[in-house]
Structure 1
């Protein structure tokens, strides 16, 4: 008997259903308390789910949340009081040159949709995915993503910085990075949020997570994740803020039905956060959260150093990194 491969329609429907309905819902015997389960079988009530939204978590982040993170946030009462978001298009080449453009949302969504459609058609119509060679040079891996073979690549990401208010003296800051089209060069990038001089980070409250999707010809789509707790050595504290060294996963080869197939990282979402308090007993009139992101722009992974100044940090060696400008800046006037 010959086993037939599942049709792309069936697979696409299953994947779409999972994206649209990432939670399962049940009702208690009394019929009053609705309990949801996310992808990791973490149970939460509607009230706890709303609490998480009010802490700045997105629906996707809640769907991927593990039990440990849920337990530390489920009963917190906060409110998002400031948000700054940028839509960035980054063009880079193998020599370390890069151009960053800040787009409006409509243009960004349109261009990302066009790029994803190109990738979809390439995978559906070509057998190149079975024969493409992956090398340590990331530009060679970019062919599957339909990047032109001109020694350059274009990626798309959004950066969002938020301030969450617990009280007039207790806040939380967050930085979200969402790569919708992955960069060709990947290694250790740095994400962080700096504060004005009237605020300090609360040690032990820092937390971060990455979630990404991969594609190959055997398993089609897979998901993976990485977590950075307070004990991770990837955190770098400054006088007023935290920076975090995060690794961007690379494409790799996997064995697939007797041949080697590239497993390509399609997209990646990450977020980091920590709580903050005033430096003195006086309540500051204003809180600033400056979101920064440094991307490795050469195909090496050098030892890096993070330096701090007022309202900013820097990454060296500078020849290896480009900062994605403009920075996001969330501001709240305390009342």
Structure 2
């Protein structure tokens, strides 16, 4: 039997559209649908789905309130189906903090012609969710992380971080542990347009660093982090003696835009041995090639360990291809990056 999915949405049309798309390749079975969280609660008990798709705005109980209860009482992989609005983006990020594995933007009238791409993306996210370790994550969240006192680095150093599925929480954990004296941080997280601005703003609230959505030609400054804009590649370049963000909309790399490979390759080329990099949770292989180029250029590279990764896909490929100097649990990654930077500073 394929991956068992329960679709939870108060819209009959959305339930039908999602159901039809999910079964297309034959490896996913929609074992049931629910119109609200009360209905969903009974069907989860009866059907024991591998993955639940969940709407946020529903009658009888908000999807976020239901998600919080589900993760506390019966941790289950959940993919949120979100609206592409400012409020929808904020609620989606809260859902990821509460334990949802991933999200898709709800198809709408302007999706005409893009439904096949939407369906393919949804199926990929369901497959990743089915392989994710949500029960392990619930335990790991209780592990204390290691806040870093200093990450002082030589002039021109940067930190580069890449992630996909599960990355919103993983990036938050790493950034929250980095001190304000660290060098510029560049982040490529697979996320569509409309969500990265809210993601950067949320990180900014939670971290000692100043976190912004990257803008083209924005100079890199210590104590600041730059999140790749949705649907744009992020690179670092040296111009007029300064390191700057460069945004571009060239074709997807490794299936993604923003692509972790594009960011890491530019860091390898422009920053070389003064960089440190981390590849975090995610499905697929994006970032492995770029991280290997960083390591070959003399950068210290860290991969998230299997036991701590929600989806051990991208870190596994990077490790197998020799791109990773060391693997570490999520709660130690900031301290490993800082330690490498302090050594660089001492050597300089």
* TM-score, normalised via structure 2 length: 0.24
Q: Which has the higher helix share?
A: 2
Point out the structure with the larger strand share: 1
Rg bigger for which structure? 1
TM-score by length of 1: 0.25
